[in-house]
Amino acid sequence: MSSTASAQPAEKDAANLTIAVVGATGAVGIELLRSLEARGFGGASLRPLASARSAGQSLAFAGRMVTVEELTEDSFAGVDVALFSAGASISRHYREAVRAAGALMIDNSSAFRMDDDVPLVVPEVNGQVLANHGGVIANPNCVAAIMTVALAPLHRASPIRRLQAATYQSASGAGAAAMEELRLATRAALDGKAFEPKVLPHPYAFNLFSHNAAIEGEDGYNGEELKAMAETRRILSVPDLAIGITCVRVPVLRAHSIAMTVQFDRPMAAAEARALLAAAPGLRLVDDRAANHFPMPSEASGVDEVLVGRIRTDLGDPTGCSLALFVSGDQLLKGAALNAVQILEAIQSRAAG
């Protein structure tokens, strides 16, 4: 994409932008509208786009109703920014249409995350790479986005040598249909009725299971785990970082939680880590040992910040170089919609500054 086209959104203030939201009726799409409104883009001209079956629906945005339009090749004429959240195949298909219209594409799918010429961005972590965008910017996998907000301030103080993590991922990561299936399955279980899952492969109420992404290759890792590892390395700019991760789906509506054990280049005391995390952007320290109060998805849901706590020395590492910690972050917000809007904010801020 030409530099003129990619700079276009930065040349306008928020109220004069025309913003397309692709996948506007989905779980992330709805949160994109809310995040745009909450963060000062309510005066923008909004173009909500979705499939033909959703066209004609009305959505609330900034005190007015906007009509969903069918997504076509011609949908991006006059658009400054296109926020995509409709899956990798849709993003790949319409990339050239966005390019031809001269719009900036901020994509929430996996389509371009590992492309060398597409920045993969968590603004609090690696916002500086936005200087090199060529008209397409990738939003990370939800696990990678939430993890790296907490890892980055520690990594800056002492390079991370190894990361071991286990995730507790909510229904929202599988979309609105999975969230509704969790509601229905829970109601059926409480009523003592049988329930046959249709969206996810296993019973969801009062259960947990390995993330439903397909196992890829002979090493036994699934696609979600591989994405989280590769993208975390890229966001932190540590291509050889040793990472092991197990991703698990848990019966929580929204907000992912992650238990991490992190090995650093030097010993790091829990008090030092706590101070670094308390001062870092995008985080809220929740680490009350006396009350046994630590990050929980119920308190992270609907919250912009990632909650971080349970910070303690890993007793399994006699060198003192390892810490354990626990985070919870809203998958639909920092793991998706909010991060995309923060990318747009950062683009405009860089131009203004």
What was the pLDDT predicted at 245? Answer: 98
Q: Which of 133, 142, 211, 247 is catalytic?
A: 142
Q: Which of 133, 155, 211, 256 is catalytic?
A: 256
Torsion over CA of 225, 231, 237 and 243, rounded to 10 degrees?
Answer: 0
Contact 283, 149 (CB under 8 A): yes
Supply φ then ψ for residue 319, to 5 degrees. -80, -15
Dihedral sign, Cα of residue 33, residue 252, residue 109, residue 177:
negative
What was the pLDDT predicted at 350? Answer: 76
pLDDT tens digits for range 80-94 = 999 999 999 999 999
pLDDT tens digits for range 2-20 = 333 444 565 688 888 999 9
What was the pLDDT predicted at 125? Answer: 97
Report the run of H or E that residue 3 belongs to, with start and end. Answer: helix 3-7
**Tokens 């790296």 belong to residue:** 148
142 is catalytic: yes
Burial of 307 (C-beta count, 10 Å sphere; 0-12/13-18/19+): buried
State how far the Cα of 233 lies from the Cα of 14, in Å rounded to an integer: 32
In one-letter notation, the amino acid at residue 282 is: G
22 forms beta bridges with 49, 84
State how far the Cα of 327 lies from the Cα of 187, in Å rounded to an integer: 28
What was the pLDDT predicted at 13? Answer: 84
Name residues of the chain where pLDDT drops below 50: 1-7
SS3 213: coil
What was the pLDDT predicted at 12? Answer: 80
Is-same-fold flag (3-140+336-352; 144-331)?
A: no
What was the pLDDT predicted at 11? Answer: 65
User: What CATH architecture applies to the domain 3-140+336-352?
Assistant: 3-Layer(aba) Sandwich (3.40)
What was the pLDDT predicted at 3? Answer: 39
What was the pLDDT predicted at 8? Answer: 55
321 is catalytic: no
What was the pLDDT predicted at 231? Answer: 98
Report the run of H or E that residue 92 belongs to, with start and end. Answer: helix 88-101
- In this structure, which topology does domain 144-331 adopt according to CATH? Dihydrodipicolinate Reductase; domain 2 (3.30.360)
What was the pLDDT predicted at 132? Answer: 86
Q: Give one DSSP letter per residue of 239-277, joined into a string.
A: TT-EEEEEEEE-S-SS-EEEEEEEEESS---HHHHHHHH
What was the pLDDT predicted at 6? Answer: 44
Domain ranges of the chain: 3-140+336-352, 144-331
